[in-house]
Amino acid sequence: MLTSGCASYPAAGFGEYVTAVAVPETPFVPQDRYQCGPAALQTVLQRSGAAVSLPWLVERVYVPGRQGSFQVEVAAAARAAGRIPYRVDGTLEAVGRELAAGRPVLVLQNLGVAWYPRWHFAVVYALDPVRGIVSLRSGTDRERHTAVDVFLRTWARADFWGIVVLRPDELPSEPDRERWFSAVADFERVAAAAAARMAWRTTARHWPEAPMPWFGLGNVAYASGDASAAESHYRRALALDPDYAMARNNLAWALADLGRIDDAVRELERALSSPKLPAALADEIRDSRRQIGARRGP
């Protein structure tokens, strides 16, 4: 749901930024009435190379009853278009880093007031600290130049919500690890196998010592019917974190599919004997043990 923010905007304004940065190649998609969400999303998707039509996005993003769009629908449509939506830090420094990488930033603004909001999606494509200007593709304006203090007030009322959309072979300029892992996991649930695999491989190259990317690669391999590759990836995750309960559970299923029932049950017993096993997962792992054990037959 949309939220009206109570956070204060950065007093430093442009902060570290002392030079202008822009993505002049940012497309311009003028909005129809109330449809700033689909138009802003198509702007950043086109810049990222995704070929999507405005009607396709309107169908997925626009909520007629509310005459507008919500952040969750915007993010879901970006994933459906084959891109990973990643929430940037709510500072102009973070926006500037993405612009420097050639990525315009989709932002949510409240152009009204906290008690009477007017929600609006726009795309930041340039920052000019010398003139104190933030430039946007906004509504029917190809170039809307807004004073930095005005922009920050309207952005603050929307909790500084802003995203970039990334190809599966890209990373944000300065990614927050856990936030990025969550973004890729959400992408994996809806993406084609090749795209999900690419996203996790890109992540694993950046964080080779983190178990979650290898777990994600195991899930993609298993869902694709490659139990042998899934086993390899799950074992890589467990070598990095032996107490990774879900990796051990999923490894057991891969082993079971390979016909190694006894090995699978041993992995589940090991998971259940771990003092670090989260209570919320214990019943799921016991259920896996019951189902896999039943494959032995009478």
Each residue's pLDDT, cut to its tens digit, for the chain (298 residues) gives 233 233 333 335 666 655 689 999 999 998 876 588 899 999 999 999 998 998 889 888 876 655 556 889 999 999 999 999 999 999 999 999 999 999 999 999 999 877 788 889 999 999 999 899 999 999 899 999 999 999 999 999 999 999 999 999 999 999 999 999 999 999 999 999 999 999 999 999 999 999 999 999 999 999 999 999 999 999 999 999 999 999 999 999 999 999 999 999 999 999 999 999 998 899 999 999 999 999 886 6
Does residue 91 lie in a domain region? yes
Same domain, 70 and 200: no
Same domain, 32 and 159: yes
DSSP character string of 165-200: EE-TT---SS--HHHHHHHHHHHHTTS-HHHHHHHH
Same domain, 26 and 159: yes
pLDDT, residue 4, reads 28
List Cβ<8 Å contacts ≥24 apart for 142-150.
Answer: 142/28, 142/30, 148/13, 148/14, 148/92, 149/13
Does residue 184 lie in a domain region? no
pLDDT, residue 255, reads 98
pLDDT, residue 61, reads 86
Same domain, 90 and 159: yes
Q: Measured in whole angstroms, how far is the alpha carbon of residue 83 from the centre of its chain? A: 8
Does residue 175 lie in a domain region? no
Distance CA 174, CA 227 (A): 34
Same domain, 154 and 229: no
Same domain, 31 and 161: yes
Same domain, 135 and 218: no
Same domain, 104 and 151: yes
CATH number at residue 237: 1.25.40.10
Does residue 222 lie in a domain region? yes
pLDDT, residue 17, reads 54
Distance CA 117, CA 140 (A): 20
Does residue 180 lie in a domain region? no
How would you classify the pairing of strands 105-110 and 141-147?
Answer: unpaired
Same domain, 49 and 95: yes
Beta strands in the chain, from DSSP E residues, in sequence order: 21-22, 84-87, 105-110, 119-128, 133-138, 141-147, 162-166
Same domain, 85 and 159: yes
CATH number at residue 84: 3.90.70.10
Same domain, 227 and 278: yes
**Which amino acid belongs to residue 210?**
A
Does residue 150 lie in a domain region? yes
Domain that holds residue 97: 21-166
Do the beta carbons of residue 228 and residue 255 sit within 8 Å?
no
Strand partners for 85: 165
Does residue 32 lie in a domain region? yes
**Which amino acid belongs to residue 32?**
D
Does residue 288 lie in a domain region? yes
SS3 assignment, position 138: strand
Same domain, 160 and 196: no
| Number of Cβ atoms within 10 Å of the Cβ of 106 | 27
Q: 């694993």: which residue's tokens?
A: 204
**Tokens standing for 158?**
């929307």
Number of separate domains in the chain: 2
Residue 120, CA atoms < 13 Å, CB-side half-sphere: 23
pLDDT, residue 55, reads 87
